[in-house]
Amino acid sequence: MKICVLGGDGYCGWATALYLSAKGNDVSIVDNYARRQWDYELGVQTLTPIRPLVERLRVWQQLTGRTIDLYVGDVTDYEFLASTLRAAEPEAVVHFAEQRAAPYSMIDRKHAVFTQVNNVVGTLNLLFAIRELQPDCHIVKLGTMGEYGTPNIDIEEGYIEIEHKGRKDVLPFPKQPGSFYHLSKVHDSHNMMFACKIWGLRATDLNQGVVYGTVTDEVAFDEALINRFDYDEVFGTVLNRFCAQAAVGHPLTVYGKGGQTRGFLDIRDTVRCIELACLNPAAPGECRVFNQFTEQFSVLDLAGMVQAAARKLGYEAEIDYLADPRVEAEEHYYNARHSKLIDLGLKPHYLSDSLLDSLMNIAIRYRDRVDQTMFLPQVNWRRATNERRRQTAMESAAVAGSKF
């Protein structure tokens, strides 16, 4: 297939582009390098050293003989996006090109506005471009389980059948997003449903859980292809943060009571889910939703697993409870359905089988790159502005520029 990966220089996008290319697809990447720029802005760097994108693509071609085309530009620029689709003529577009961190969207007004404009406008541009230029192209859009929030009922896959005053209907599952970022994803979902309904487009909305792991078969070919390992308090995941903390002897920082429960999946399952969606496209006019995760864990569950894994490697990790900077339930019911991708053939990897290899060993290998000042939360959901955080980030970026 001809597949265009928007945001192909990012964490999920890079692994997906290599995986699809290795499977024999004609892959192109669209990216504006924004993800790298946000690291400069915040004064952080991924734990693993990331090479320039053109170098990564050159190494991939040398190793495999397969070329991945690169289009550099911003999907919020409609003319650029349209010209790219004309040139690439994709049968499927995998859309990762969004600002994906809830804390980033909560820094202040500027970051909240940027997140929503970037994400919503980029997706709207894609919908209009597909309608005008490639109306049969299948859109595979990365959503998030965070759209649902933590309702006190089971979370269905996108839609729910309800009965009200003697009448029944199937409606989109109620959304309770917890940040301006998650709100942007809800807007995306509604815009896609509407576009499919009125224009007959075909789309798959993948509500993904928290992804972990750095290594896929393709990334493992060469050090130059290594993927991101973000552990900072803005773009890092809680699991990555715990592993980096354990590797340098820092307490594992649990927010609040630690009962916050979410869905998780291995990066190897992310790329397989994308492939399954591409191989089994939605019908014209259909906007289907898959809940893309394989296991559920609370923050305390993860802290205990990292403690045990670290101890096996000779590292002791204590747990430190911090006041939760977010506005969220610290103990709650959570049970989300996730059967549709399994039905299509997904064979999950499990965290208990990969924690040491995919996470702890990598954290230990690159422990000299850990900046412990990035562990503690500085973005607070309850403040309307965060000038001190922004000023600190700008000062850190000026000092850290030579590291990149």
Between 357 and 286, residue with greater pLDDT: 286
Tokens of 109: 């007004």
**Residue 28 bridge partners (DSSP):** 4, 69
- For 245, residues 6+ apart whose C-beta sits below 8 A from its C-beta are 231, 251, 252, 253, 317, 375
pLDDT at 390: 52
**Closest by CA position to 5, among listed 110, 77, 75, 59:** 75
Q: What digits encode the pLDDT tens for the residues 224-254? A: 999 999 999 999 999 999 999 999 999 999 9
Half-sphere exposure of 337 (CA within 13 A, CB side): 14
pLDDT at 86: 98
Active-site annotation holds for 181: yes
Q: What number does CATH give the domain 2-391?
A: 3.40.50.720
Between 135 and 384, residue with greater pLDDT: 135
Amino acid at 56: R
Asked if the model's pLDDT at residue 381 lies above 80, the reply is yes
Asked if the model's pLDDT at residue 398 lies above 60, the reply is no
Name the residue ranges covered by the structural domains of the chain: 2-391
**Residue 207 bridge partners (DSSP):** 143, 291
| Share of residues in the chain with pLDDT > 90 (%) | 93
Torsion region of 385: left, alpha or beta (phi above 0 gives left; psi -120 to 50 gives alpha): beta
Asked if the model's pLDDT at residue 397 lies above 70, the reply is no
Residue 377 CA to chain centroid, in angstroms?
20
| Active-site residue (options: 144, 237, 253, 261) | 144
Across the range 44-55, mean pLDDT stands at 97
Across the range 110-119, mean pLDDT stands at 98
Whole-structure pTM value:
0.94
Q: What digits encode the pLDDT tens for the residues 138-184? A: 999 999 999 999 999 999 999 999 999 999 999 999 999 999 999 99
Average pLDDT of every residue of the chain: 95
| Share of residues in the chain with pLDDT > 70 (%) | 95
**Beta strands, E only, 213-364:** 252-255, 261-266, 287-292, 295-298, 319-322
Nearest-angstrom CA–CA distance, 397 and 211: 27
CB atoms within 10 A of CB 141: 26
Asked if the model's pLDDT at residue 206 lies above 50, the reply is yes
pLDDT at 18: 98
SS3 21: helix
Confidence of residue 402 (pLDDT cuts 50, 70, 90): very low
Rg (CA), the chain: 20
Asked if the model's pLDDT at residue 387 lies above 60, the reply is no
Confidence of residue 319 (pLDDT cuts 50, 70, 90): very high
| Active-site residue (options: 185, 212, 261, 270) | 185
Across the range 264-270, mean pLDDT stands at 97
pLDDT at 383: 83
Determine the Cα angle at 294 with ends 293 and 298, to 5°.
85
Active-site annotation holds for 197: no
Confidence of residue 393 (pLDDT cuts 50, 70, 90): low
Tokens of 103: 């804390």
| Active-site residue (options: 71, 104, 181, 212) | 181
Tokens of 60: 């991939």
Confidence of residue 354 (pLDDT cuts 50, 70, 90): confident
Cβ atoms of 244 and 104 closer than 8 Å: no
SS3 339: coil
pLDDT at 357: 73
